[in-house]
Amino acid sequence: MERRLNRVVIVGASLAGLNAAEALRDEGYDGAITLIGDEPETPYDRPPLSKQLLTGEWDTDRLPLRSADEFEALNLDYLSGRTASGLDVPNQTLLLNDGDRVEYDGLIIATGAHPLSLPFGQHLDGVHTLRSQADALRIRSDLDRAGKVVVIGAGFIGAEVASSAHARGLDVTMIEALSAPMIGPLGEQLADWAANLHREAGVEMHFNAKVSGFIGDQRVKAVELADGTRIDADTVVVGIGVRPNMRWLEDSSLTIGDGLICDQFCRAAPMIYAAGDVARWPNELFMHFRYGEPQRTMRIEHWTNAIEQGMAAARNLLLESRGEPLEAFAPVPYFWSDQHGLSIMASGITSPRDEFRLVHGTLESNRFAAIYGLRGYLTGVVAVGWPRMLRRYQALIRKQATWEEALEEAREIEG
């Protein structure tokens, strides 16, 4: 059944939101598009915030994802500095924070995620989280006059901030509640390698550590751990994870959990789609072996997924409006992280419980490829300094290769 589609509203001037708008135009949609963003800037690139912008290699003029002319050519009604505060699904109406209402025929939700904070110390100068351009500029300003930097959280963002601060010649300490950095996605062996990478660069690290409080009146002076350890700090960056931006959807009829729950087409409800950090959906490429009941969905916080999912959501919205069959969104996830001059690349889905095999290179050389498997299938690959190897195993994941097929591939390569 065809549906009217004269106005598409995209909530979130993010990478996913921008790519959704571009996909609509590329697919021939010439109706109205309203893009709503909570920041004053046009959509910009976020990965450099924890890297090139903090180190000073880049300034903000290099961040926009599109030039002013390219953005204008999309013919959008861009509502900047606005946020969605509610959604009336039956009446196809979006409520904004300033009281305005925006009607839609089709809706794409790409509101991203926000960083988690500790339950104390946010009132102190020098304590930061990192998500926006404004956050990064505040941190960079602090780093200009800091001597000692403490990073709380050793996930990818925390590790990148630690690396950037160290590149500026600062005294850096990283605190992590788990036993090693990035142990969730990398597993124990590669997490230990990552710990050595930071340690050899000169970053002081505290693992299995709980932060109990900050010391300071108006500005932070130190971080205190639960065991009584005090770590002096001029600047603190908290990088303990993110949560999808969904509070505005709590009174809607949409299903939310750790993300907006969608089907395999990125559809949350008829003519409503989601993309990027906020979307949780079943990736059919991994369903046959990876997820049993009750966890059958994934939510991915990576740059490449935001692009691909934004485009997929837009295409499926158009297909639904035409009454045509929808296309399942089933990518092989990919991400990278730059730390201490190395690029850590990963594809697929990895977990500490997966089978692990270092198949090429050595950890000591900082040039290697490792694969992960579960229930007899290849699930993921991590490569450092070897993008060709990453692509080779990424192709096998896309083919749903077995673990033995992946090992045979490795033997042939080493031949």
Which residues touch 30 (CB under 8 Å, ≥6 apart)? none
Chain segment 68-116, per-residue pLDDT in tens? 999 999 999 999 999 999 999 999 999 999 999 999 999 999 999 999 9
The pLDDT assigned to 288 comes to 67
Chain segment 220-261, per-residue pLDDT in tens? 999 999 999 999 999 999 999 999 999 999 999 999 989 999
Chain segment 323-380, per-residue pLDDT in tens? 999 999 999 999 999 999 999 999 998 888 889 999 999 999 999 999 999 889 999 9
| Domains along the sequence of the chain with CATH | 7-114+243-322 (3.50.50.60), 117-240 (3.50.50.60), 341-414 (3.30.390.30)
For residue 12, give the 3-state DSSP assignment: coil
**CA 89 centroid distance within chain:** 27
For residue 341, give the 3-state DSSP assignment: coil
Q: In which element (H, E) is residue 397 found?
A: helix 387-398
Query: Which pTM does this prediction carry?
Result: 0.96
Q: Are 222 and 212 in contact (CB under 8 A)?
A: no
Q: How far is CA 18 from CA 9, 25, 33, 94, 97, in A?
A: 12, 11, 11, 19, 21
Q: How many helices (H) and strands (E) does the chain have?
A: 10, 27
15-26 vs 303-322: helix axis angle to the nearest 10?
40
Output 91-95 pairs: Cβ under 8 A, ≥24 positions apart.
92/271, 94/9, 94/11, 94/36
**How far is Cα 204 from Cα 40, in angstroms, rounded to an integer?**
37
**How far is Cα 332 from Cα 349, in angstroms, rounded to an integer?**
8
**CA 182 centroid distance within chain:** 14
